[in-house]
Each structure stands twice: as C-alpha cells, then as structure tokens.
Amino acid sequence: MSRPRLTTSPDRVLFGVCGGIAEYFGWDASRLRVAVVVMAFFSAILPAVVIYLMLYYVMPGNDF
C-alpha cells in the first residue's frame, strides 16, 4: 500500500500547508492550525513563519 502524496490542500486558509498535512495524516485541519499558531507564538513567530513558507514552496500543489 502506498500513502497518498503530501500536497497542499484546497481546504486552505493561507496557503494550504496545514490542510495538506492534516489530510496526509488524517488529522483535523482546524486543530493543526491552532497548534501551528501556538507553536509560532512560543517560538517568537519568525522560525515558525520561515518553516511554514519553506513548506509552501516545497510541497507541490494539488491539481483539483
């Protein structure tokens, strides 16, 4: 069995990164978004923003 490919999601709020990760792992996208915001707050915002933007550029788009 092969896993589905990790792509950005059409269920997007900003760039679809959290939605894509949530779809890949079968998680709730809203909870993942809250976790990312909390982690960004506790990491002084900049590292989380840089990682999020890197994921946006690395993850291929979803062709729906």
pLDDT tens for the chain, residues 1 to 64: 576 777 777 777 888 899 889 988 999 999 999 999 999 999 888 988 899 999 989 888 765 4
Question: What pLDDT, on a 0 to 100 scale, did the predictor assign at position 1?
Answer: 59
Residue 1 lies in a domain: no
Residue 11, domain member (yes or no) = no
**Domain count for the chain:** 1
Count CB atoms within 10 A of the CB of residue 11.
14
2 in a domain, yes or no?
no
Terminal-residue alpha carbon distance, the chain: 23
Q: Which residues have C-beta within 8 Å of that of residue 43, sequence separation ≥ 6?
A: none
Residue 22 lies in domain = 17-58
Instruction: Give the global pTM.
Output: 0.80
pLDDT score recorded for residue 31: 95
Q: Dmax of the chain from CA atoms?
A: 40
